[in-house]
Amino acid sequence: MNNLDPMNWEAFKNTLLAHPDKALQFQYAEGQLVEPSYHITEIKQAPIVSVDCGGVMNQWTEVIIQLWEPNVAEAGRAMKVSKALSIVELVEKSLPLEPTAIVKIEFGNSKFDTRQMYPSEFVAEGDTFTVQLTADFTQCKAIGRGQTCGTPAPKTELELVGSASQSCTPGGGCC
């Protein structure tokens, strides 16, 4: 998996389900782990609707897991994967999470500005299961479609017919 291929919620949850007895860790930077006494403070589902610089509407959904480190570390409190899954189960009783939604982990502390990151790699080692995170990124969807950034996407025949019929007036010759 890489930045161009973010993981969906179903795959992320299934990966966790395979390691219920391990301590769940998150690596947010090289050699930097979220304090083991972290809390999952909320799980958000965010439907995104946008219009890009080429005038094309885009839609997707994100599931964002927010992590918080307490001011004082709680000794001996490392969250097990099974505990994280019980939080997920509680959330899903009220908010069914979209299986195809893109997963992001939101985290920050006094040494690391809060940001949303993608799970990029998983490492099961001994009694721990580490989710390595990679930074979110920006992109130009128009360039991804082979257009120049800021150039309107070509209208399809259906869009042209739809726009003409909306401005059509009786006797105007367009109908």
What pLDDT is attached to residue 8? 98
Domain ranges of the chain: 9-138
C-beta separation of 43 from 94 below 8 A: no
Is pTM, for the whole model, over 0.85?
no
User: Which regions of 36-139 does DSSP assign to beta strands (E)?
Assistant: 39-51, 57-68, 102-109, 112-125, 128-135
For the record, the structure tokens of 60 come out as 């997707």
Stretches where the chain sits below pLDDT 70 are 1-4, 156-175
What pLDDT is attached to residue 175? 46
> Among 79, 71, 93, which residue's Cα sits nearest to residue 131?
79
**Is the CA virtual torsion 113, 118, 124, 128 positive or negative?**
positive
Q: How many other CB atoms sit within 10 Å of the CB of residue 131?
A: 26
Residue 38 CA to residue 27 CA, distance in Å, equals 12
**Is the CA virtual torsion 29, 30, 32, 33 positive or negative?**
positive
H-helix or E-strand containing 119? Answer: strand 112-125
**SS3 state at 163:** helix
**Is the CA virtual torsion 92, 122, 119, 37 positive or negative?**
positive
